[in-house]
Chain A
Amino acid sequence: MNMATPEIDAEPARGRLAALLAYRPQRSALLPSIGIAAGLLIAAAGVFHRAPPDRGTVPAGYAALVNQKGILTSDLIAQSVAELGKPFADVTSAERARVLHEMIDEELLVQRALVLDLPETTTEVREAMTGGVNAQVAAPLLAEQPTDEQLRAYYDAHRAKYTADGSMNVRDLVLHIGGYENADQSMAQARIDATEAVYQLRSGAAADYVMEHFGFSDSGRMKFGNEPDFAAKLHLGPTLYPAATRLTEGQVSDPVADTDGLHVLIMQQRRMPTIADFAAARSAVYADYREDVAKAAQRENVKILRGQAQIILAPGESE
């Protein structure tokens, strides 16, 4: 470049600055041209981007491209083996073509489902998707087999879950209060009668005699005889069942007030609930342990997702 020296010797500072700004050296166009080209190229890199590749040939490792989406050869092999039930080496080319045809159909339907936004609109698809995500989240943890120590610790912490249900055959006598046959009887009088009846029953009096003498009747709640505890709980209800569980065989309860009168329970037969030992409950413990591990992983995953999500509730709504 040919650089000329500006004449700035005798001028004041302001004038020198003005002269400097107005200075036009004679120079070649090379550097500005390089600058122009570089600038355009850099700007073009920002304004334009590479077009997504439109593949006309199937890349290695893929069996087919369906709307530019690949079907892996490994998936084709796995599907062939699963569908035909024989090693892939024994699969004929016709069978392989048929499986690939089915996989292409499936891919087309999946793509169509996504276009139709089925995950947002169809309950079954949503359930399948949530199930899939939950299974995927739990899979790494479920792949680890629990040790006996872990299972035993789980068993100890959840011993109540491994209790074998008991059963009972209880006779439920009821003394109705204020009925037409005893319209003037007060609650206090009824309780005195019931207490006396209990005393006589405990003294060995026959139930039928007591019923007749004091005006008791069978409540009908335990009409099926010997029942498992869960059924007895259902039939006796929340007031009488706890009283029944405290009785052993042959015992008579104190009078218990319920909505329909005063009840007296006579435990005729009782098998108490039993707790299975670890060895007997091991398979159930193993299944429960894995289920709890999977649920914990799923809860953790949802917690992370919630942490990353923006959730806005409408006024008045809560979750």
Chain B
Amino acid sequence: MRGVLLAALCLFACAAQGAPLPAGTANVSYTVWTVSGSSVLLKFLLPTSVAQSLTGAEVPVLTTRKLGDYILQHVEVEAAGRPCPAVDQGYDLGKVDPLAVGADMYGFEILFRCAGGTASGLVLHNHAVFALSPGHIDFARIERDGRAVEQLFTAGGQRLAVGVQMSPAPFGSYVRLGIMHLAFALDRLCFLLGSLLLVRGRRQAGYAFVALVAGYAASLLVAASGWVVPRPALLEAFMGFMVALLAALITLRELQRPRVASFGCPVLLAGLALVTALTHAHWAALALFGGAVFAGSLLLEASDGGRPSWLLPLGVVGFLDGFALPAALAPLNLPTRPQLWMTVGFDVGAVLLAALVMSVPLGVYAVMRTRVSRLNPRALVNELAAACLGGLGTFWLVSRLYA
């Protein structure tokens, strides 16, 4: 019965696939508000993917200038209850100055002048993108008198009051962000739900959750050190691989010939790595080759049964997902301390939702098992769930790898 429930949830998650972005945090923008005397200088950074998603909406983003005009229409500054107009920056620039910020980003600068100064009643407004994408997040950095704080603009909070004593966004807002991130990340949800099919009893469920938390904790340590940063596209592709690997693990338990899965899965991955290497995507090929070795060894180990190796993918997924926020924050070049603070909050939120996602189906199963104890079409359900997860995982892996 538990299998039926989980398969239904997996199928529901699969059916909901269609979100334009692989993870919730990819739908972000960045603003830096520099308050100085009577002026506020806004630097707006918009990832190309988000700008392109605007194109399909009502906003006709045909050129950088039009995108700049769109931004100008959706940001405001007011001081002491009076609006601060955007200043014409001379030459033929107009009020929006386009910036050169790299190929994967659009950048604009707008200067607001507050006639009465910015000492009191300074309020920043950002309404860009939210109407078109309610899940959009704007990471804001507000600089004033040599101090800087990090804030968030969300669909529910498009207005920020800035006092003389600036305060950063509360810890809870990042917890909420982590929850939202996981709630809209279908690959993660599929993985978490699918992993429950491997759980045998309450104790193992606890182990699974601990493995996930350990993964998040490890990523926090690595991210805080600043030694390595992820390649976002490959990280998301690897997340797809983990879903497919989970499907192989589930299948392995049902197979009479586990060697087929133990060798088939890594051989397929090695083939994909070879094809990828031929396309000169060397880092992707390396990741796939590593994935093949990992999958082969893990499946071989898991085929024996009784060993806790099945917990490892949970740790890996936690580790990879722990880099979601640091990767999203990279364009802001934040100092280590505030970034760590934000990431801790984000990870706590993700872990809380993961706990909910993992515990609710198990709880419902526990309740239902007492009532319909004879219904347990386990093998069929596992096969169905594994097929869904395998298909989706492979789709995510390949589509993100060659995006």
Contact = CB atoms under 8 A, between A and B. Distances in A.
* A and B form one complex: yes
Interface of A: 18, 20-24, 27, 29, 31-36, 38-51, 54, 114-117, 120-122
Most chain A beta-carbon neighbours within 10 Å: one of B238, B290, B301: B290
Interface string B296-316: 111011011001010010001
Contacts of B228: 48-51
Interface residues of B, number: 48
Given A18-B257, A48-B230, A48-B231, A34 B297 contact: yes
Nearest to A119: B100
A305 B286 CA distance: 34
A22 B314 CA distance: 27
A43 B287 contact: yes
A48 B219 CA distance: 12
15 contacts: A24-B303, A24-B304, A29-B301, A35-B297, A36-B297, A36-B301, A39-B290, A39-B292, A43-B288, A45-B286, A48-B231, A49-B231, A51-B226, A54-B226, A115-B100
A154 to B, nearest CB: 44
Nearest to B333: A54
A-B CB proximity, top 7 nearest: A35-B297, A39-B294, A46-B287, A43-B290, A42-B290, A39-B293, A46-B286
B234 interface: yes
Interface string B97-109: 1111100000101
Contact of B291 (A21, A22, A39): A39
Interface string B268-294: 000000000000000111111111111
B298 A32 contact: yes
Interface of B: 91, 93, 97-101, 107, 109, 226-231, 234-235, 238, 256-260, 283-298, 300-301, 303-304, 307, 309, 312, 316, 320
Contact of A33 (B97, B109, B259, B297): B297
A84 B268 CA distance: 69
Contact of B100 (A24, A35, A114): A114
A31 B297 CA distance: 8
Contacts of B227: 50-51
Given A24-B304, A50-B228, A115-B101, A43 B238 contact: yes
A47 B312 contact: no
Contact of B316 (A40, A45, A48, A117): A40
A59 to B, nearest CB: 18
Contacts of B230: 47-49
Most chain B beta-carbon neighbours within 10 Å: one of A38, A47, A50: A47
A54 B307 CA distance: 43
A123 B125 CA distance: 35
Nearest to B99: A115
Contacts of A115: 99-101, 107
Most chain B beta-carbon neighbours within 10 Å: one of A22, A29, A42, A43: A43
Contacts of A32: 297-298, 300-301, 309
B38 to A, nearest CB: 21
A40 B99 contact: no
Nearest to A32: B301
A177 B109 CA distance: 72
A32 B298 CA distance: 7
A116 B286 contact: no
Nearest to B64: A117
A120 B98 CA distance: 11
A22 B290 contact: no
Nearest to A50: B228
